[in-house]
Structure 1
Amino acid sequence: MADFGLAVHHTSLSVADLDAQQAWYQRVLGLTTVVERFQLDEPAVRTVVLRSGSGVRLELIERAGAARERPFADPLDAAATLGFGHWALSVRDLDASYAAITAAGAASVWPPADAVEPGARFAYVKDPEGNLIELIQPPA
């Protein structure tokens, strides 16, 4: 197999309200740097790429008329639909991160628990538009 030098460049998330979601991700997850913005008139699309101090990039895309096929109750429900079901973020302190993110408007989906990987822990939340985010605290 070829070594392509793969690394995650960014994750793309389709949103209903670009301005509100941008403000939430900047305030709550620290994705404060705006890397780029783009706009099309036809079809009506606006995008912004945000970056955290650690280099995590998230592209938010708003397209007029876009609709969610159906909301996901949790990650297992999301797996019943093909495509991406959630995005996962590594955190240093799961309990503190989970508490801060839910206090800032994220809905609790699954509270912090032990993960399959020994020593790791995880939790799930939903952003204000219902997109699933997994928080993972790797083993010490």
Structure 2
Amino acid sequence: MISAIRHTGLVVTDLDRALHFWCDLLGFKVVKQMAESGPHIDAMMGLQDVRVTTAKLAAPDGCLLELLCFQSHPDKPRWEGTPYSTGFTHIALTVDDLDQLVSKLTQEGVSFPAPPQCSPDGYAKVIYVKGPEGVLLELVEVLAA
């Protein structure tokens, strides 16, 4: 049995750009960053000559996101999924002020497929946005408890 979800891993192609997005724009904090290589990481991933920089980021509630930037084993530069793709589709983040965050992200050149939408029951205001690697984020402001 599990006792908790430890973290979510996200492979990025540009760690500096990803850290700017996740920390400077969304408010995560770096709690650990390190370069990893050697027999242990090779064995864990079932690969050879792995070189990866990892950064563990904490949300204000303590949940962790791990960014992985591979110097070896490059893959596609962007995630090509959609909200209805099979497998993991998005990360949902609770935000304090959705309109303020949308304005901040828009000023940074981030675009949105549609304006924020209120849920039919009036509980939340929600918007989808793509992060630097194309990963979908669902930003949610709870309006009524």
Shorter-chain TM range is 0.7 to 0.9
User: SS in structure 1 opposite 2:11?
Assistant: strand
Q: Which residue of 2 aligns with 1:54?
A: 61
On the 8 A contact 2:79/2:133 being kept in 1, the answer is: no
Q: What is the aligned-residue identity percentage?
A: 31
* Residue of 16, 19, 27 corresponding to 1:19: 16
Matched, 1:125 2:129: yes
Matched, 1:66 2:75: yes
Note the alpha carbon deviations across 1:37-68, whole angstroms, 9 max, x for none: 34125222221101134323211012231225
TM-score by length of 2: 0.75
Any stretches of 5+ residues in structure 2 without a counterpart?
Answer: 39-48
Q: Which residue of 2 aligns with 1:138?
A: 142
User: SS in structure 2 opposite 1:97?
Assistant: helix
Once residues 134 and 94 of structure 1 are traced to their aligned partners in structure 2, the CA distance between those partners, rounded to angstroms, is 11
TM-score by length of 1: 0.77
On the 8 A contact 1:102/1:125 being kept in 2, the answer is: no
Once residues 79 and 30 of structure 2 are traced to their aligned partners in structure 1, the CA distance between those partners, rounded to angstroms, is 31
Residue 12 to residue 110, structure 1, CA distance change in 2 (3 Å): farther
On the 8 A contact 1:51/1:58 being kept in 2, the answer is: yes
Deviation at 1:14, TM superposition (A): 1.0
The structure with the larger Rg is: 2
* Residue of 31, 35, 46 corresponding to 1:34: 31
The CA RMSD measured in Å over matched residues stands at 2.5
